[in-house]
Structure 1
Amino acid sequence: MRKTGILSLASMLVINAAAASSSWQLEKVVEIDRHSVRPPTVGNQKAMEAGSDRRWPAWQTAAGELTAHGYQAAVNHGRYAGESARESGMLADGCPDDDAVYIRASPLQRTRATAEALAEGAFPGCKVPVHVASGYDPLFQSEHLPAAALDPHKVHRATLQAAGGDLNTLQHRLRADIARLQQAVCQPGKPCPTFAQRWQIEPGGDGRASIRGLRDMADMAESIRLAWSNHNPLSEVAFGHVRSADDVAALLPLLTINYDLTNDVPYIAQRRGAVLLDQVSKALQSEATANAPPATRWLVLVGHDTNIAYLRTLLGFHWQLGNYPRGNIPPASRLVFERWRDTRSGDRFLRIYFQAQSLDQLRNLTPLNAQQPPLEQEFSPEGCEKREPGMLCPYSTMMTHLRAAVDNSATTQVEYD
């Protein structure tokens, strides 16, 4: 059970007593976080304006960088996660020692700032360091890794297969979703080039496929979601065409389809997610291993939605949270791996879940607690059982599954400071 706010001494004693009486011990948490709310990148902004033939609202924050609102949303997430870790007995009160937590972020500003916000929320006043690689980081930016290069012919075939073999048929099947987004972003009676395009597979700049037409629609949907989440004026969210979270959610399905044809393509995920999944699986091992992350109880890796998408594809983990469309990866969301031990039998288990704030929680900066928890869905493949901590999967079985999903030819050694 999770509580909110600063716990009184009496409440803490109750929690500690409950933790002591339970036979379940949380030994390790590894989580991969998406950065929090940002404006569109420069490239996104140009593409959206060209595709809709109109100017999109300007933001006060520099393109692609974390907003002040996004920072506070990440603080809320960090505070909730930190309180949960302490209530489980995994972490002690106060500032963490060197064995407790290690936080690493992708080098971009929005990920570094999100990591700092998470640390502030989880450990207020403690100034927990955020580690960032010099140069590119293979954990989060595997597109720069020669070993993870993609074969363009395989990418094309795999993308077409993910589309069901025919992009024209897919585009026609999604005509209602396309029309809904078109009504929100296009001016009546004026050109709106993106919506007149026939979808086609094109090479992307990082080796992945890009779907001409769909790509820009997905950027538009994402930018609408970000503007809502940042509490921008309603006149600047979908040009005033939305009034509620449900209205925003109705414009997001094309974002899911774009995931289906890019990050969630198994061949692409296998190559581009190998380094990160390899490090996650090594971090979860109960015994020390070479080329592994620091052996802290809580390992926080702050990256991008693409990183989470690769891992969930390799796992075969599918979710649908609240009114978000299936597979959505909102700002400040996290994919979490927990290693539990039954102290009576000595058996270990893994619990895996995805957690995110709702559209309204993000927009309103709702404090997260037992009364207002984040949205959450557990991974529940065959062989897992519901126990006191949640949906638990046998440790050895799940570790075998994780290791088997790693393409070792696409991995590399990762340096930690």
Structure 2
Amino acid sequence: MMAKRHQAAARLLIAGTLWFSAAQAHAEATYELEKVVELSRHGIRPPTPGNRTDIEAATNRPWTQWNTADGELTGHGYAAVVNKGRWQGEHYRQLGLLTAGCPQPQDVYVRASPLQRTRATAAALVDGAFPGCGVAVHRVEGDHDPLFQTEAFPATNTDPATQLAKVKETAGDLAARQQALQPAVQALKKAVCRDDASCAFFDKPWQIKQSKSGKASVDGLSVLANMVETLRLGWNENLPVAQLAWGNITSSAQITAVLPLLTANYDLSNDVLYTAQKRGSILLNAMLQGVEQGVNKSTDNMPDTRWLLLVAHDTNIAMVRTLMDFSWALPGYTRGNIPPGSSLVLERWRDSKTGERFLHVYFQGQSLDDLRNLQQVDGKHPLLREEWRQPDCRVTDVGTLCPLRSAVKALSKNLDRNAITPVAYALP
């Protein structure tokens, strides 16, 4: 018995020594940031023209006209993104990724979706990070970009029957989902409906429908989600309370209370794995190629820059994070919410002593009120952040670092290789 106790104690001592040695090695490691690939959502905008038509029809009343044209980045939205870009530029200079002054061609490459709100957001980010430098924002000519508008390309088209089946499978008992979300539905109805007018739309049963193009959506839920997004963006824009929801929303907590409808709509649209595989594989593959560039893969057609900045839409981020099997719940938001100006970031780090490389993956964004107040990002008001991790990752002073090869393997497991086509870049 005594011998067994001595053996057990010895094993504990050895295990403790090994743990201490590993912890000490991690503590003594010196990490260098080599590469950043970032996928950002555009900043604050009014409702798109189509969304305005739908939400006004459902509530039987006109919604506020903003100072900016529907669907375009606002001046407030531009300023909020500049705040984020300024902090990122300073942060990456402190980490040694960027040098002082205007960037060289190998320092940053920016590509935006063709729409005004994404191009203007990209300009705001680089204006914040590199003020006065006139950093170019690249985009494709025309309305379709294989990175961001994938529904326009044959290889990424979904099969209508399969997509409908997958949405139905994900939805399960749709009536039960609708019932479970009644607190959010009723809070939204109270905010946007007149007491003396019919708002029967809020009580109609949700149904899965399919457009002529084959896109499946949840009739009823999708319009409610557009209302929630419009209210959230209006709060971020710092619209006067009287113009936001006829005086019925006076705190960010009321916005948080209706956000579950937005999450539910994500769940049954861009977060459906089949849809994400068809329409998000090109973008995630490009991001992973970018972060591996110069290490594991040859990417001659991709700009070789320290910071690859892609600016697109919440739908793009939703599909990429679905493929990555990565979700988050930032304070004040619901699961998987994608605030304006928020971003999904891949950072490649190197242990300067061993040469080992790691991936740091996280999602970041500002709070509802910080966006509303144009709060500058700093030590007292940091970006909200949540990290991706798996069992072989390590917690360090620079964040949760995961071995590069195993992390890329895990993050690419859901890619549909048949949906990936070459992407052309305007190289500097």
Instruction: Using structure 2 for the length normalisation, give the TM-score.
Output: 0.90
Equivalent in the alignment of 1:6? none
Contact 1:149 1:207 (8 Å CA) reproduced: no
* Gap runs ≥5 in structure 2: 1-27
Q: 1:409, 1:276 → 2: CA distance?
A: 13
Equivalent in the alignment of 1:199? 206
Q: 1:406, 1:122 → 2: CA distance?
A: 32
Q: 1:327, 1:204 → 2: CA distance?
A: 26
Pairwise CA distance, 1:398:
1.0
Contact 2:323 2:412 (8 Å CA) reproduced: no
Within the candidate set 109, 112, 117, 1:110 is matched to 117
Equivalent in the alignment of 1:11? none
Contact 1:156 1:209 (8 Å CA) reproduced: yes
Q: 1:108, 1:215 → 2: CA distance?
A: 22
Contact 1:208 1:262 (8 Å CA) reproduced: no
Contact 1:230 1:362 (8 Å CA) reproduced: yes
Q: How many residues align?
A: 396
1:265 aligns with 2:272: yes
Within the candidate set 326, 332, 349, 1:340 is matched to 349
Between 302-311 and 203-212, report the one with greater CA deviation: 203-212
Contact 2:181 2:260 (8 Å CA) reproduced: no
Within the candidate set 141, 156, 167, 1:159 is matched to 167
Code of the residue aligned with 1:55 in structure 2: it is: P
Code of the residue aligned with 1:314 in structure 2: it is: L
Report Cα offsets for 1:81-108 as digits up to 9, x if no partner: 1111111111111111011000000000
Between 93-102 and 242-251, report the one with greater CA deviation: 242-251
Between 148-157 and 252-261, report the one with greater CA deviation: 148-157
Contact 1:291 1:413 (8 Å CA) reproduced: no
SS in 2 for 1:335: strand
Pairwise CA distance, 1:238:
2.1
Within the candidate set 141, 145, 151, 2:153 is matched to 145
Q: 1:55, 1:299 → 2: CA distance?
A: 41
Rg larger in structure: 2
Equivalent in the alignment of 1:40? 47
Change in Cα spacing, 1:266 to 1:90, as seen in structure 2 (3 Å) is: same
Q: 2:271, 2:298 → 1: CA distance?
A: 29
Pairwise CA distance, 1:204:
4.2
Q: Percent of counterpart pairs with the same letter?
A: 48
Between 144-153 and 101-110, report the one with greater CA deviation: 144-153
SS in 1 for 2:361: strand
Q: 1:289, 1:387 → 2: CA distance?
A: 29
Within the candidate set 134, 138, 150, 2:141 is matched to 134
Change in Cα spacing, 1:349 to 1:94, as seen in structure 2 (3 Å) is: same
Pairwise CA distance, 1:278:
1.0
Pairwise CA distance, 1:56:
0.8
Contact 2:325 2:411 (8 Å CA) reproduced: no
Q: 2:296, 2:136 → 1: CA distance?
A: 26
Q: 2:269, 2:211 → 1: CA distance?
A: 10
Pairwise CA distance, 1:60:
1.0
SS in 1 for 2:258: coil
SS in 2 for 1:299: strand
Report Cα offsets for 1:145-197 as digits up to 9, x if no partner: 1101111121112112222x121111112111111111111111411142132
Q: 2:233, 2:333 → 1: CA distance?
A: 13
Equivalent in the alignment of 2:315? 306
Within the candidate set 44, 64, 85, 1:57 is matched to 64
* Gap runs ≥5 in structure 1: 1-20
